[in-house]
Amino acid sequence: MLICFIVFFCSKKNNTWSLYREKGTSPYYLYTLIMGVCWAGGIAIYGMATANMGNLGPSIGWAIFSAVCILTANIWGILTGEWKGATKKTLQVMTAGLVVLFGGICIVGWAKYLQ
């Protein structure tokens, strides 16, 4: 709700309402709707999954959820060409970061399991 207020306030202040009606912007409204539905659905699924994970749920559920969000965002970035200009080293660092992220989740899950 606060975000909507800020968008309305800034659009009025900067007199930029016409930007929402520019040619070629209409597909982005659909993308925004899809993104919102996926986000809300993801949070709902996270809540149900965490409740069903038993003792591991609270400690590892959010980490898994966040890691999957980051992985999904990176995959979509690659598929849509966002990473097209990236160097090989940059992609290697991104991959290494994802490996460390998922490795950390495994370590936390294992530690919680041993507890």
Our count of domains for the chain comes to 1
Is the per-residue pLDDT at 56 higher than 80?
no
Is residue 71 assigned to a domain?
yes
Query: 76-97, pLDDT tens digit by residue?
Result: 888 988 889 999 999 999 999 9
Burial class from Cβ neighbours inside 10 Å (0-12, 13-18, 19+) for residue 60 reads buried
CA neighbours within 13 Å on the CB side: how many for 10? 8
Is residue 55 assigned to a domain?
yes
Query: Using alpha carbons only, what angle is made at residue 74 by residues 72 and 79, rounded to the nearest 5 degrees?
Result: 95
Rounded Cα gap, residues 19 and 12, in angstroms: 12
By residue range, what is the domain housing residue 76? Answer: 26-114
| Residue count (the chain) | 115
Is residue 17 assigned to a domain?
no
Is residue 21 assigned to a domain?
no
Question: Whole-prediction pTM value?
Answer: 0.64
Is residue 87 assigned to a domain?
yes
Is residue 6 assigned to a domain?
no
Is residue 65 assigned to a domain?
yes
Is residue 15 assigned to a domain?
no
Query: pLDDT-derived band of residue 110, with 50, 70 and 90 as boundaries?
Result: confident
